[in-house]
Amino acid sequence: MHPIPRLLFVAMACVGMAACSKKVKETPPPATPAAPTAPSTGEATTAPYTPKPGAYTQADLDRDACLRIRAFYFDLDRDNVKSEAQNAILCHAKYLRDRPMARLTLEGHTDERGSQEYNLGLGERRGNAVAQALQAQGASASQVIVVSYGEERPECRESNEACWSQNRRVDLNYTVP
Give 37-47 pLDDT, tens digit per residue.
Answer: 333 444 444 44
Q: What is the pLDDT of residues 148-161, one digit of tens each?
A: 999 999 999 999 99
Asked if residue 146 belongs to a domain, the reply is yes
The answer to whether residue 13 scores a pLDDT higher than 60 is no
Tally of structural domains, the chain: 1
Of the listed ranges 25-34, 80-89, 128-137, the least confidently predicted one is 25-34
**Which amino acid is it at 83?**
S
For the segment 1-22, the average pLDDT, to the nearest whole number, is 48
pLDDT in tens, 71-84: 999 999 898 888 88
What is the pLDDT at residue 108? Answer: 97
| 147, part of any domain | yes
The answer as to whether 8 is a domain residue is no
In a domain, 86, yes or no: yes
| Residue 171 covered by a domain | yes
Residue 52 pLDDT > 70? no
In a domain? residue 35 = no
Mean of all residue pLDDT scores within the chain: 78
Residue 152 lies in a domain: yes
Q: Does residue 66 form part of some domain?
A: yes
Domain that holds residue 158: 54-177
Q: Which CATH number do you get for residue 170?
A: 3.30.1330.60
